Amino acid sequence: MNELASRDCVPCRGGVPPLKGQEIQQLLSQLDGWKVVNEHHLSKAYKFENFREAQAFVDRVGNLAEEQGHHPDICFGWGRAEITVWTHKIDGLTESDFVLAAKIDALEVPVRTASGSDPV
């Protein structure tokens, strides 16, 4: 398990600046296949064999989000799911966003990233 995945998400109370530049790159280097979009949010696409596998993955992500109190945007359909994460309270990225991304990747669900790499 990745070190980030062993941490818990910490609720953001606002009043802190979003991560930028090198802070983002340092945390991103600990993730596999996630993209940072406009220094605002993290995004990753997953591919599956069918709708049922995608739905099972989304259910696992939803349960994890509830456990962590940190809720990503999820878009899914037949054979695909896309996860987008950011901290709404500050409209940008915090360490908890990277923690949640690592925890999502640690879920024991057979998935392939959109790039077609081996199962996570």
pLDDT tens per residue across span 100-110: 999 999 996 55
Per-residue model confidence as pLDDT tens digits over 38-56: 999 999 999 999 999 999 9
Domains of the chain: 20-113 (3.30.1360.20)
Q: What is the pLDDT of residue 21?
A: 94
Q: What is the pLDDT of residue 6?
A: 73
pLDDT band of residue 118 (cuts 50, 70, 90) is: very low
Per DSSP, helices labelled H in 1-120 are 21-28, 51-68, 95-105
What are the phi and psi torsion angles at 20 (to 5°)? -140, 160
Q: What is the pLDDT of residue 16?
A: 82
pLDDT band of residue 113 (cuts 50, 70, 90) is: low
SS3 4: helix
Per-residue model confidence as pLDDT tens digits over 79-92: 999 999 999 889 99
User: How many C-beta atoms lie closer than 10 Å to residue 72's C-beta?
Assistant: 22
